A = this chain, B = another copy of it.
């Protein structure tokens, strides 16, 4: 069955890609399966300079989910272009660069740097990281800032820009409409929900950063609801994520209105999950009577 789907800047042979921060820059997972199987890859968030992130512990397990507060640790955009992209170049898959920062200027700087590298097919603008003091989520929870930063980054980018939305808002549709006005080429959603776990033996928040981002199957109903609403309110393609762990989940996201999906937390439990989902997708689509990916997108709407 034909699993391909065309999105701005992204010629996907299938709608499956690893989510930012859950797959590093691909190296580690390439020992488990051939990355050429992937529809695309989204790299870990990049900032202008190297960042060491938050103190540890940085992760905790929750019911059907996990909390993380990595804090955007990364070697910085230039080291990524120099050391990581050459490795990914060897594979025949679109590369999406995830852009983060503390100031609009830093976001512009990183986007511009990636735009100069011909191997980058699209940018994912991370305005929804809940784990850093400045930047990140503050841009994603305010309509004006979201619009402003999207405009500014678009101006510096020569590849399509997908804006990654935060679910930690009263009205995600307003934010989606703001980034559409600002010229975003697509939307990726959802990033993590802010959460906390208290470690009883020590009577302290388990995660050193106190709060962390909640991900995994626990948040899937929230992701589905937000994608369903946003897809009715904007004309941008959506790359959906939030708790996907099998082919049925993928179809649920497509029915809700996503055109492709990203898989995060599930990689930790099963390093082969992306590959397995890609292999199961044709059979699963058939079982539910679908003949293509296009056939499924948005069909869950009444």
Contact = CB atoms under 8 A, between A and B. Distances in A.
Contacts of A203: 255, 288, 299-300
Copies of the protein in its oligomer: 2
A67 B214 contact: no
Interface string A183-227: 000000000011111101101110000111010111111101100
Interface stretch (A35-43, A57-65, A70-78): A57-65
A141 interface: yes
A285 to B, nearest CB: 11
A148 to B, nearest CB: 17
A201 B201 CA distance: 45
A196 B256 contact: yes
Nearest to A218: B218
A169 B171 CA distance: 8
A221 to B, nearest CB: 3
Interface residues of A, number: 44
A258 to B, nearest CB: 11
A222 B193 CA distance: 7
A112 interface: no
A302 B63 CA distance: 24
B256 A198 contact: yes
Contact of A221 (B67, B221, B222): B67
B210 A195 contact: no
A252 interface: yes
Contacts of A219: 218
A225 B60 CA distance: 14
Contacts of A288: 200-201, 203
Interface in A283-301: 288, 299-300
A210 to B, nearest CB: 7
Interface of A: 62-65, 67, 141, 168-170, 193-198, 200-201, 203-205, 210-212, 214, 216-222, 224-225, 228, 243, 248, 251-252, 255-256, 288, 299-300, 302
Given A63-B65, A195-B222, 12 more contacts: A64-B64, A65-B221, A141-B170, A169-B169, A170-B170, A197-B221, A198-B252, A198-B255, A200-B251, A201-B288, A204-B302, A218-B218
